Amino acid sequence: MRGATHAKWAACAVAVTLAATACGGGGDSGGGGGGGGGANGVVRSSWGDPQNPLEPANTNEVQGGKVLDMVFRGLKRYDPKTGKAKDMLAEKIDTKDSTNFDITVKSGWTFSNGEKITAQSFVDAWNYGANLKNDQKNAYFFGQIDGYEKVHPESGKASATKLSGLKVTGERTFTVKLNQKFSTWPETLGYVAFAPLPKSFFKDHDNWLSKPIGNGPYTVQSYAKGSQMSLRKWGKYPGSDKAQNGGVDLKVYTDNNTAYTDLTAGNLDLVDDVPASQLKNVKSDLGDRYLNPPAGIIQTLAFPFYSKAWNTPDGAKVRKGLSMAINRKQITDTIFQKTRTPASDWTSPVLGEDGGFKKGLCGEACEYKPDEAKKLVKEGGGLPGGQVKIGYNADTGSHKEWVDAVCNSINNALDNDRACVGDPTGTFADFRNKITQKKMTGPFRAGWQMDYPLIQNFLQPLYYTNASSNDGKWTNKQFDKLIDQANAEADTAKAVEKFQQAEGVLRDQMGAIALWYQNGSAGYSEQISNVSLNPFSVPVYSQIKVK
């Protein structure tokens, strides 16, 4: 998930108020974090407006993802401590050949409007997500299912509306046929794109967008764009991870420094993005109420390969030169107070060596070597247009500070104080819109928060040809071939080796610049307890208790 670069809810949902009953009920609205307290107390947390409406197959960014993680549950769920995929609505998923899967859905589950969840709830949702006419950003995740090329062709009109690889075989059973072997495919099913959908989603889509109905521990009570989204506990939620509070108010901030100030002033309970400028103060301000655990997040710089200027025969030399002009250690030490770690590959240490992390795979391309950097940029034909403009959103994430630091490092290495400048966009949503509309003219920040803890997720969605989050439109046949071979490999160790070979192709062509691995960074008030971040760096809202 384009973690450090995602958002949802569309213009059609602006300032719409949702009735709690229309969302299928919910708990008592409770008080604020410092108010009602107890089981009905409401957590007040910082947030940013998402990019589009809350459709599971159309949300590929963090802000919308936070909400969907509270409102939906799928066949699998990732353990909030270990990140391992565990059965949620799946009673069992069987396969003999890593191509054909038999899935049984647990009984007793309903949506918050009382509708029973069946195999059809999943099959209809997946067919909708894959269908070309629905233009879902996560359609690519259904690409492994047989018939996808007819439902979602790369060009021209679709010749089918349903995936031939999906078959309902009973009220709680369905089969899935993939178009190639994918031994770890079941582990991807905790991703929100694979969530089930109620009949109302299809019968009255526009109304559903304004009044989402899911099957998670919370329901959406109201949303006012630019202000707040309120979620409330669903009292009849059948899962084991029931909400330990009355709800969550997600308050929109366009400046995380303001959110931090509100936290320390007692006007907010939780900030899950402590600004870089406050890291030097956070320990004295919050003590052990500051969290900084490892997370499956990497910050990178992507390039607009759809621009001829950045897609030249010798362009890899320029990109590698820019990478070697960045003093990662100095930036992570000073700007981020050592709460980030310089990247040496394109995955994350949370995967572990067995899971695909390979320290040092990037080699010298990720080391600070200013003389070599200057030489490579010159050999590659120089900077396109004579200057690099790094795009970023200015509203969250302390991005101005680190982008300025990256540019200073590049300028020093190239002996040119105008070689690099920051190119801010006011809001995250506008920034994402520019990216998806292919309007970027230079490198841009492309942080990635894993959707599921597999090395495949750090590579295929971002760099495979026409992949869902391949925002720069990089393409390489050898990379694609190795990814396909890795997915087909039943032996996990051999699959990891193939993925790392593909990562080597990414390195040699510098399809993106790996910057640093990111820890989760959150602070909370004295009014709440039992606060933690999962391996995706998202607060485990349902476990939070209000005093």
CATH of region 294-519: 3.10.105.10
pLDDT, residue 1, reads 54
pLDDT, residue 16, reads 29
Tokens representing residue 350 in the block: 């949370």
332-353 as b/e, with b when 16 or more CB fall inside 10 Å? beebbbebbbbbbbbbbbbbee
User: What is the mean predicted confidence (pLDDT) over 373-397?
Assistant: 93
Q: What are the tens digits of pLDDT across the range 219-260?
A: 999 999 999 999 999 999 999 999 999 999 999 998 889 999
H/E segment holding residue 129 = helix 119-130
3 has pLDDT over 50: no
CB 512 within 8 A of CB 212: no
For domain 73-203, the CATH class is alpha beta
CA–CA separation, 217 and 269 (whole Å): 20
Cβ partners under 8 Å of residue 494, min gap 6: none
Lowest mean pLDDT among 13-17, 68-72, 206-210: 13-17
Question: Any idea which architecture 218-292+521-546 has in CATH?
Answer: 3-Layer(aba) Sandwich (3.40)
φ and ψ at 16, to 5 degrees? -95, 140
Helix 492-509 / helix 315-324 crossing angle, nearest 10 deg: 100
Helix, strand, or coil (residue 302): strand
Sheet containing strand 270-271, edge to edge, reads: 218-224, 228-233, 247-252, 42-47, 270-271, 522-524, 290-291
Cα distances from 528 to residues 26, 38, 39, 258, in angstroms, run 21, 10, 11, 20
pLDDT, residue 62, reads 84
Give me the residue spans of the domains in the chain. Answer: 73-203, 218-292+521-546, 294-519
Tokens representing residue 5 in the block: 């670069």
Cβ partners under 8 Å of residue 149, min gap 6: 179
What percent of the chain is modeled with pLDDT above 70?
93
